[in-house]
Structure 1
Amino acid sequence: MKKIANFIILLSVLTLGGNKSFGQIIVRVRPARPAVVINRPPAPSPRHVWVDEDWQLSGGRYVWHGGYWTAPPRPGAFYVRGHWRNTRRGSIWVPGHWR
Structure 2
Amino acid sequence: MKHLLISAAAILISTTAILPTQAMAQVSISVNIGTAPPPPRYEPVPSPRSGYIWVPGYWNWNGHAHVWSDGHWERARPGYIYEHSEWRQDNGQWHLNKGGWKPGKDKHHKKDHCPPGQAKKGNC
Q: Do both share a fold (TM > 0.5)?
A: yes
Unmatched runs of 5 consecutive residues or more in structure 2 = 16-21, 23-27, 103-124
Q: Give the 5 Å matches for 1:1-99.
A: 25-34=31-40, 36-45=41-50, 47-58=51-62, 60=63, 61-72=65-76, 74-88=77-91, 90-99=93-102
Paired with 1:23 and 1:42, the residues of 2 have a C-alpha distance of 29
Change (3 A) 1:2 1:89: farther
CA contact (8 A) 2:29 2:98 kept: no
Runs (4+) off by over 6 Å: none
Q: Distance in 2 between matches of 1:86 and 1:39?
A: 26
Cα drift, residue 30 of structure 1:
0.6
Amino acid at match of 2:57: E
TM-score, normalising length: structure 1: 0.58
Residue 31 of structure 1 and its aligned partner are, at CA, apart by 1.9
Whole-angstrom distance in 1 between the partners of 2:75 and 2:31: 29
Alignment CA distance shift 1:24-1:67 (3 Å)? closer
Q: Is the contact between residue 54 and residue 65 of structure 1 (CA under 8 Å) also seen in structure 2?
A: yes
RMSD over aligned Cα atoms: 3.6
Give ranges in structure 1 of 5+ residues lacking alignment: none
Query: Residue deviations 1:49-69, cap 9 Å, x none?
Result: 1112212233x1331222222
Letter in 1 for 2:94: S
Q: In structure 2, what is the Cα distance between the partners aligned to 1:23 and 1:80?
A: 12
Shift of 1:33: 1.8
Identity, % of aligned positions: 24
